[in-house]
Structures are given as C-alpha cells and as structure tokens.
Amino acid sequence: MTDLWVSLSVLAAAVLLCEATRRAAAPLLGEVYRLYLLETVSTFQLCCCTHELKLLAQTGGLAPPGSAALTYTITVVHLFSFRGATCNPSAALESVCRGARSVRAAVLLMAFQFGAAAAARVFAASAWSLGLSDMHLRHQKFGFRCFDPLGGTVLEAAAVELACAFTVQAAAMHAHKLQETLRVPFVAAVITAVVYTGGSVSGAVFNPALAFSVQFPCSGHSYLEYCFIYWLGPVLGTASCVLLLEKIVPFLSGKSSAVQKRKTQ
C-alpha cells in the first residue's frame, strides 16, 4: 500500500509541476510559442506519469482492475489539463497532411515532443533514486533497467500498436458528436480499454514520443525493431483511420446514394 501512495504522490507532483509551468509561462508567450510550450510540458507530463504507472503495474503488485481505474483517472486528468495539446508526433504529421501546419513547424514540434520525452526519462530516474518506496528501491537496485516489453512477436506488437492508434483516432474524430461534458470521459474510456486490451502484447503505447521515453530504453529488441513497432505502427494506424473515415467511407456513401437515386428515377 505504501508503494501505491508514493506512486500517487509522484503522479500528483508531476501533474502539479507541469500545470504550474503552463499557467505561469503561457500568458507570457505569443500564440505560436504557447503552442510549443503546451506540447512540450504536456508531453513531459504524459511521459512522467506513464513511467510511474508502468513501474507500478509491473512491479508494484497492482491488480489489473486497479491499474485500469488508475489509468482511466490519470487519462482524464491529462485530457483536461493538456488544453488541446496532442503530445503525439502522429498528430503533427496529420496536421501536415491536412495543410494545417508546415513541414518545418511539424518537425520543430516533434523535436520538442521527443525532447520532453527524453527529459521525462531523466525526471523519472531522479524521482526513483530518492528511494521513497520499496518499489523504487528495488528498481534502483537493478539500475532502473526495464526488460523486454513485448508479449508477442514484433509483427504482432506492431499490429496491436496500429490497431490501438486506429481506435483512439476514430474515437477522437467522433467525440465531437457527444455532449461536451461526455467527450473527455469517452476518449479516456477508449484509451483505457485499448491499453487494457493490448498492453500484454506491446504495452499499447500508440504514441512515438511516449514509446521513445518508456519503451525504447528496454532490452530485448533492437532499436530498429522498436522503431517499426512504436513509430511506424501508430503512424500507419492514424493515417489509415483518417483515410478510411474521411475519404473512403464518404466516397462509398456518396456513390451508394447516387446509385440509389438513379434506381428511384
């Protein structure tokens, strides 16, 4: 129980630190720089909290229902505090494809996201080195090492990451149809469900920056294999979802409507 309370304290400290930074710095910056600040700080928050949740789930003895409830709760906190930040390089690439952002701006945004992910890794190790709980002490004893995060083959893990990204992207694209008060709980429930379902195979990260922080330091597979799983998988999942829902389905619906109209004439 002590491990749980310490982990909850670490999560709260990370969220409060990032929220204080957002509130203090955002009013001092222009719109463009505010966007980079929100993405950087929010990505840092996401990665820090995920480091602690992953450690708690793997070595803290937290039961799956408790882990799912905690994942849902912290996801709701993230979605409310991020203020529209995506914290996901796949979203930056999507904005380029939509013409909403230049390639240069997207590359710069992704650089900030990956920088925040790397900084979160250092922050997590620093928090664990304080030895505030037995779980942290045990992790420190092993040099903060993490081991093979895959519960299946490389192809299976990549397929899971693709499916997770596809599902979350689809949920995000349809969330506007719900009442405003239900959008965050709905997206958080979908994220929790895919994490709970696919976590045993790949970790269900579906975010290249988050994976770079949490999964890439782990032993068991090569850097290129992790790139294939955690970078290519989510990017393809997001792209295929946008292509299906915004291009293929409307095209087929329009074609079907046209055929039906001709039949009735």
The 3 state secondary structure assigned to 211-227 is HHHHCCCCCCCCHHHHH
**Is residue 255's pLDDT more than 90?**
no
**Is residue 263's pLDDT more than 60?**
no
pLDDT digits (tens, 9 = 90+) for 116-154: 999 999 999 999 999 999 999 999 988 888 888 899 999
12 contacts: CB under 8 Å, gap ≥ 6: none
pLDDT class of 1 with cuts at 50, 70, 90: low
pTM over 0.85: yes
**Is residue 70's pLDDT more than 90?**
yes
**Is residue 259's pLDDT more than 60?**
no
Across the range 29-44, mean pLDDT stands at: 91
pLDDT digits (tens, 9 = 90+) for 53-67: 999 988 877 777 888
> d(Cα 119, Cα 34) in Å, to the nearest integer?
19
pLDDT digits (tens, 9 = 90+) for 161-193: 999 999 999 999 999 999 999 999 999 999 999
**Is residue 108's pLDDT more than 60?**
yes
Instruction: At 236, list the tokens.
Output: 């393809």
pLDDT reported for residue 130: 93
pLDDT digits (tens, 9 = 90+) for 146-165: 888 899 999 999 999 999 99
Please check whether residue 54 is in contact with residue 135, taking contact to mean a CB–CB distance below 8 angstroms.
no
pLDDT reported for residue 63: 78
- Residue type for 165, please? A
pLDDT reported for residue 252: 76
Helix, strand, or coil here: 90? Answer: helix
Domains in the chain with CATH codes: 2-264 (1.20.1080.10)
pLDDT digits (tens, 9 = 90+) for 75-87: 999 999 999 899 9
Instruction: At 36, list the tokens.
Output: 């980079």
pLDDT reported for residue 99: 86
% pLDDT > 70, the chain: 95
> d(Cα 127, Cα 219) in Å, to the nearest integer?
22
> d(Cα 12, Cα 77) in Å, to the nearest integer?
10
**Is residue 257's pLDDT more than 70?**
no
pLDDT digits (tens, 9 = 90+) for 220-252: 899 999 999 999 999 999 999 999 988 888 877
Instruction: At 208, list the tokens.
Output: 């290249």
